Amino acid sequence: EAGVAQSPRYKIIEKRQSVAFWCNPISGHATLYWYQQILGQGPKLLIQFQNNGVVDDSQLPKDRFSAERLKGVDSTLKIQPAKLEDSAVYLCASSARENTEAFFGQGTRLTVV
């Protein structure tokens, strides 16, 4: 069974530029998460989808971050414009249901210079 796929693996952009990350969850998984992990810290939940509806986005900086999950499958996370403090690893995860174990992709390491 294929795992969670994320792309790109690495991205370097200048501040004020835009960037988008893509995630393809495990087939059949209803719940999809996006986390931000700053070096040395635990993952911080940005947004959680159940199918194509948003369950929680309370920690998503909505003035610059946006996310969507079309048709309840793939998801994209966008940052526009990026700030230096957005430098982090962005992790996508999926689970069969909300309270079951989440499986993570390899992440996208974003560096904003």
Partner 1 sequence: AQKVTQAQTEISVVEKEDVTLDCVYETRDTTYYLFWYKQPPSGELVFLIRRNSFDEQNEISGRYSWNFQKSTSSFNFTITASQVVDSAVYFCALYYNQGGKLIFGQGTELSVKP
Q: Is 96 in the site for partner 1 (CB under 8 A)?
A: no
User: Is the distance from CB of 111 to CB of 11 less than 8 angstroms?
Assistant: yes
Cα separation, 16 vs 100, in Å, equals 37
Site for partner 1 in 39-68 (CB under 8 A): 41-45, 48, 50, 55-56
Instruction: Give residues with Cβ within 8 angstroms of 20, minimum separation 6.
Output: 76, 77, 78, 79
Name residue 113's amino acid: V
Cβ of residue 39: shortest distance to partner 1, in angstroms? Answer: 11
> Interacting stretch for partner 1, rule CB under 8 A, among 11-19, 60-68, 72-80, 91-99?
91-99
What residues line the site for partner 1 (CB under 8 A)?
33, 35, 41-45, 48, 50, 55-56, 89, 91, 93, 98-107, 109
